[in-house]
Amino acid sequence: MKPRVHLPGSTIGVMGGGQLGRMFAIAARRMGYRIHTFAPDEDTPAGQLADREIHADYDDEVAVRKFAKGVDVLTFEFENIPIQTIRWAAEHCEVRPGGDVLHISQHRLREKEFLSAAGFPLPAYCPVANIRELEAGVAKTGLPCVLKTASFGYDGKGQRKIVAREEVRGLELGGEAFVLEAFVNFSKEISVVVARGAGGQTEVFPVCENIHRDHILDLTVTPARIDSLAARAAQDLARGIAEEIGLVGVLAVEMFLMPDGAILVNELAPRPHNSGHFSFDACLTSQFEQQLRAVCGLPLGSPALLRPCAMANLLGDLWSHGEPDWLAASAFQDVKIHIYGKAEPKPKRKMGHLLAFAADAGSAASLAGAARQALTASIFDGGNRGEAGR
């Protein structure tokens, strides 16, 4: 059956109200679509740009069904939506990506079992439900290793590194499901965003090089500073996973590049990804427009990179001594500022990002760091600002 196409003027529903939904809404509005958002909170970053913002819990069946009846197609800005919620919505509108895709990716063990069964390369892992299984798992994976909750883990939450057997004895697992993974001595963390349309067309974005601080993405450099063979292998992996999982939408694949050139898959995210924010300004078609095109049944656009760039996340910590110096940051002519519209800055909370352009990826990374530093420099130098520019 030929996939249904939703042309400009159609109404797209978005489950979730964060910054990913916000940037998706910007892309959708630019192409003439209407946006309805559904989230438990009010005045969300995505809801601020929506035609309608619905404030209700994801387990509110009446609200979910009413929302789904009012849209032509439903998509997501984060994957941890209850599977029952997705099933309710699917009775009234198209849901892209499908509930099966979200069901796999919202649980680390299901995700790893899916990837392993399909033959994709992973770090050694084993399921853990109690201390006995944890002890056996440590013997299997070796030390050090990483214990992760199977559900609701992101930005380092729900993770614990184990470096000695003695640490296992004092742990309380509390009946949750966990995944134990071998600790990987990678050379770089990389990611690839891939888009796949309803008819099977795929487009793969340039490989990103990701640098984390305290388990939170700090800086993304694009293109990744890796050789062309590794870049092609990473893109092929992402494309293969998108096809295997039956994606309609966009998928971010986080990976480890090993010292010997091998690539291991870390995690999947079946929606736009923090490491793909560069594409909003730096690609012919952003990850958000690709998601829009895919879920609406339109042909995908070109993800070609226009210039080397680097994205620096802005966390709530930057506000700890007052409002950041936006005037100083805006003096950097090759840097763009994105603020997400969140009401309250909190430590470790993603409040926005900077995107710097340069002749090469390394120079872009340096420029992004300098622009971010300028946001707080005047607080500590008595208000004296240095010159900023290209």
Q: Label residue 156 by pLDDT band (50, 70, 90).
A: low
- For the full predicted model, state whether its pTM sits above 0.75: yes
Which string of b and e fits 139-178 if b means at least 16 CB within 10 Å? eebeeebbbbbbeebeeeebbeebeeeeeeeeeeeeeeeb
Q: Is the pLDDT assigned to residue 177 strictly greater than 60? A: yes
Residue-level pLDDT at 311: 98
* Residue range 321-358, pLDDT digits in tens: 899 999 999 999 999 999 999 989 999 999 999 999 99
* Three-state secondary structure call for residue 66: helix
83-87, 165-169, 213-217: least confident range: 165-169
Q: Label residue 385 by pLDDT band (50, 70, 90).
A: very low
Stretch (H or E) spanning 141: helix 131-141
Where do we find the tokens 């003027």? Answer: 9
As a whole number, mean pLDDT of residues 356-380 equals 92
Q: Is the pLDDT assigned to residue 389 strictly greater than 70? A: no
**Of the candidates 308, 332, 155, the residue with the CA atom closest to the CA atom of residue 221:** 308
Q: Is the pLDDT assigned to residue 17 strictly greater than 50? A: yes
Q: Label residue 387 by pLDDT band (50, 70, 90).
A: very low
Q: Is the pLDDT assigned to residue 384 strictly greater than 60? A: no
Q: Label residue 390 by pLDDT band (50, 70, 90).
A: very low
Residue 208 · residue 226 · CB < 8 Å: no
Residue-level pLDDT at 176: 79
Q: Label residue 249 by pLDDT band (50, 70, 90).
A: very high
Residue-level pLDDT at 381: 59
CA atoms 68, 28, 231, 155: torsion sign: negative
Measure the CA–CA gap between 85 and 70, rounded to whole angstroms: 15
Residue-level pLDDT at 159: 85
Three-class HEC string of 263-276: EEEEEEECCCCHHH
Q: Label residue 152 by pLDDT band (50, 70, 90).
A: low
Residue-level pLDDT at 231: 98
What structural domains and CATH numbers belong to the chain?
11-95 (3.40.50.20), 124-182 (3.30.1490.20), 188-380 (3.30.470.20)
Mean predicted lDDT score pLDDT of the chain = 93
21-25, 176-180, 355-359, 385-389: least confident range: 385-389
Q: Label residue 155 by pLDDT band (50, 70, 90).
A: low
Measure the CA–CA gap between 17 and 47, rounded to whole angstroms: 6
Residue 175 identity (one-letter amino acid): G
Give strand pairing partners of 190.
Answer: 209, 255
Q: Label residue 388 by pLDDT band (50, 70, 90).
A: very low
Distances (CA, A) of 338 to 98, 124, 206: 30, 38, 21
Q: Label residue 277 by pLDDT band (50, 70, 90).
A: very high
Residue 364 has a CB neighbour count (10 Å cut-off) of: 27
Measure the CA–CA gap between 282 and 311, rounded to whole angstroms: 10
